[in-house]
């Protein structure tokens, strides 16, 4: 066998192997996807996105959604990024993660489980008495001493500290809401 016939034989063998491997992929119906896959799901035919509102609650992802809305204006009765009031803001953020909240602050104060102030976690709802002794303002715990909220008619969605004098004096409690 000469060098040229040896090269030709190798080329024919490589082409045959490539053809067999290509046919095997096509016969499975598998369509390769780019890596990494959004959401961290493995590539392949068995990978399917989880339905909204299912699976473990991710307080950090929820807080990320809330923080991305910083700067959105306050609008009385507002429930979208064009303008939020406090409960419209929390309702909108939770809805983006498949969790339905009631519309009014006092109704939101009744959902989920009560959380001790020492056990606050990102995504917990924080409630304040700003206009009377009952819950009249709601925010989302960011972590540590911080929360994000739609504060008032003169403000925008922003982060503040729970230990700040105004908020500390008006803090009523927290609720943990998970699917």
Establish if 47 belongs to a structural domain: no
Both 76 and 161 in one domain: the answer is yes
- Give the pLDDT confidence of 16-70 residue by residue, as tens digits: 433 333 333 322 333 333 333 334 333 333 333 333 444 578 999 999 999 999 9
86 is catalytic: yes
Active-site choice (9, 25, 86, 97) = 86
Neighbouring C-beta atoms of residue 66, cutoff 10 Å: 27
25 is catalytic: no
Domain containing 96 — which CATH number? Answer: 3.90.1720.10
Contact indicator for 84, 72 with CB cutoff of 8 Å: yes
- pTM exceeds 0.85: no
Both 66 and 32 in one domain: the answer is no
Quick one: pLDDT at residue 8?
Answer: 52
Both 30 and 79 in one domain: the answer is no
Full domain range(s) for residue 82? 59-176
Neighbouring C-beta atoms of residue 67, cutoff 10 Å: 16
Both 71 and 150 in one domain: the answer is yes
């Amino acid at each position: 066998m000469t060098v040229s016939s040896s090269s030709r034989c190798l080329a024919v063998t490589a082409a045959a192997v490539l053809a067999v491997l290509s046919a095997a992929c096509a016969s499975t119906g598998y369509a390769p996807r780019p890596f990494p896959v959004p959401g961290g799901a493995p590539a392949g035919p068995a990978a399917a996105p989880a339905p909204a509102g299912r699976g473990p609650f991710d307080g950090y992802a929820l807080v990320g959604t809330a923080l991305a809305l910083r700067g959105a204006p306050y609008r009385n009765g507002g429930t979208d990024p064009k303008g939020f009031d406090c409960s419209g803001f929390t309702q909108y953020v939770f809805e983006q993660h498949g969790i339905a909240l009631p519309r009014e602050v006092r109704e939101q104060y009744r959902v989920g489980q009560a959380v001790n102030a020492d056990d606050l976690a990102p995504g917990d709802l924080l409630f304040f008495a700003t206009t009377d002794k009952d819950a009249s303002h709601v925010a989302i715990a960011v972590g540590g001493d911080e929360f994000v909220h739609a504060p008032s008619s003169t403000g925008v969605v922003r982060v503040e500290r729970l230990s700040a004098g105004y908020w500390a004096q008006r803090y009523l409690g927290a609720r943990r809401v998970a699917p």
